[in-house]
């Protein structure tokens, strides 16, 4: 993933925590430590959950860059 301007690759870490019939997915930008989370049914596909969390993280990183 690039930064807010799409120039620099970023390392993104994903953490999955199953809570009953749900799963909490955290997406963390390794460079900044910015973290977002999503909660979804535990039966959802891992790739869909990563894509959803990554999209949310991209929005958060863009907002953070705009605030600077």
Domain that holds residue 23: 12-67
**CA distances, 62 to each of 44, 58, 68 (Å):** 27, 6, 10
Among 5-19, 24-38, 47-61, where is mean pLDDT lowest?
5-19
Phi, psi of 42 (to 5 degrees): -65, -20
Asked if 8 and 29 touch (Cβ cutoff 8 Å), the reply is: no
Number of domains in the chain: 1
41, part of any domain: yes
Measure the CA–CA gap between 22 and 17, rounded to whole angstroms.
9
| Nearest C-alpha neighbor of 40 from the set 12, 56, 18, 60 | 18
63, part of any domain: yes
20, part of any domain: yes
pTM: 0.84
4, part of any domain: no
- Per-residue pLDDT of 23-47, as tens digits, reads 999 999 999 999 999 999 999 999 9
17, part of any domain: yes
Mean pLDDT in residue range 44-54 = 98
């Amino acid at each position: 993933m690039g930064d807010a301007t799409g120039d620099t690759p970023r390392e993104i870490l994903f953490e999955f925590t199953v809570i009953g019939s749900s799963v909490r997915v955290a997406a963390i930008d390794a460079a900044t430590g910015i973290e977002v989370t999503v909660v979804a049914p535990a039966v959802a596909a891992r790739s869909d959950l990563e894509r959803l969390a990554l999209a949310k993280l991209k929005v958060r990183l863009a907002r953070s860059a705009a605030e600077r």
